[in-house]
Structure 1
Amino acid sequence: MGELPQHLSSRYREGLAVRRAVLGDPHVDNAEKASTDFDKPFQQLITETAWGTVWSRPGWTKRERSMVTLALLAALGHDEEVAMHVRATTNTGATREDICEAFLHVAVYAGVPAANRAIKIAKQVFAEMDATGGKQNER
């Protein structure tokens, strides 16, 4: 994790701290290691906007943001992101019951197939987490 270069914005710095708090240091470290010159601008964009602007806002807890994020990702069929954010609930405080409730909303408002797929993904992630003693699987 080391010192961040001074040229990075305060929004990036705040976003990186929130990203680490939600997704965990190993996930963020792996994403940074995998980053190339090609996708560095994208990584900076999501760190500043998703994490430094949206996830950093006051008013909603990380638990609430986690549930909304899971519902949106499930509704849009972003399976890898659903799995990543299910794992992140160990850091956001969203419970398995919260996730189930979010996916019930998906079923009603975005369709049963989207919710069914998200539930299947969540069950796989829970099984992996349970097998590792609740620790996040580093992907």
Structure 2
Amino acid sequence: MNATASARYREGLAVRRQVLGDAHVDRAEAAATDFDRPFQELITESAWGTVWARPTWSKRERSMVTLALLAALGHDEEVAMHVRATANTGASRDDICETFLHVAIYAGVPAANRAIKIAKQVFADMDAGNSDER
């Protein structure tokens, strides 16, 4: 992060670290190139500093809504990342199950089935002590 970073960017980076963990954010920052650095800055400022930082919903609530949307849209890598993040947001495995039941009804059984399969693998990794993989 450079010295000219906006307050919203700095807040977004702090929230991103709270939710995804330092190791994930450090890897993303280390992997950034001149090509994708503007994108990393955009998501840090807008998604994390504007939306996730809002006080209206808890991180648990945002986590469940995010999982539902990602599952419905079939964004498998993001589903896995956000299932891992629930260790930091307070969303329980029961919350995730309920989220994916809603996905099944409102976005389709195949989308929920895929998300459940991903979550089960992430939980197995987490239970084995490999929570920061992928």
TM-score by length of 1: 0.94
Amino acid at match of 2:92: T
TM-score by length of 2: 0.98
Paired residue for 1:101?
Answer: 98
- The answer to whether the 8 A contact 1:107-1:115 is kept is yes
> Percent of aligned pairs with the same residue?
80
Equivalent pairs, count:
134
Q: Deviations over 1:51-95 (max 9, x none)?
A: 000000011000000000000000000000000000000000000
Paired residue for 1:38?
Answer: 35
Amino acid at match of 1:47: T
Paired residue for 1:15?
Answer: 12
Write the distance in 2 (CA, Å) between the matches of 1:138 and 1:100.
22
Structure 2: state its 5+ residue gaps.
none
- The answer to whether the 8 A contact 1:12-1:47 is kept is yes
Write the distance in 2 (CA, Å) between the matches of 1:47 and 1:5.
13
2:113 to 112, 116, 121: 116
User: What RMSD over aligned residues (CA atoms) do the two structures have, in Å?
Assistant: 0.9
Structure 1: state its 5+ residue gaps.
none
Structure 1: 4+ residue segments shifted above 6 A: none
- The answer to whether the 8 A contact 1:67-1:98 is kept is yes
Does residue 77 (structure 1) correspond to residue 74 (structure 2)? The answer is yes
Shift of 1:137: 1.9
SS at match of 1:65: helix
SS at match of 2:55: coil
Shift of 1:5: 2.4
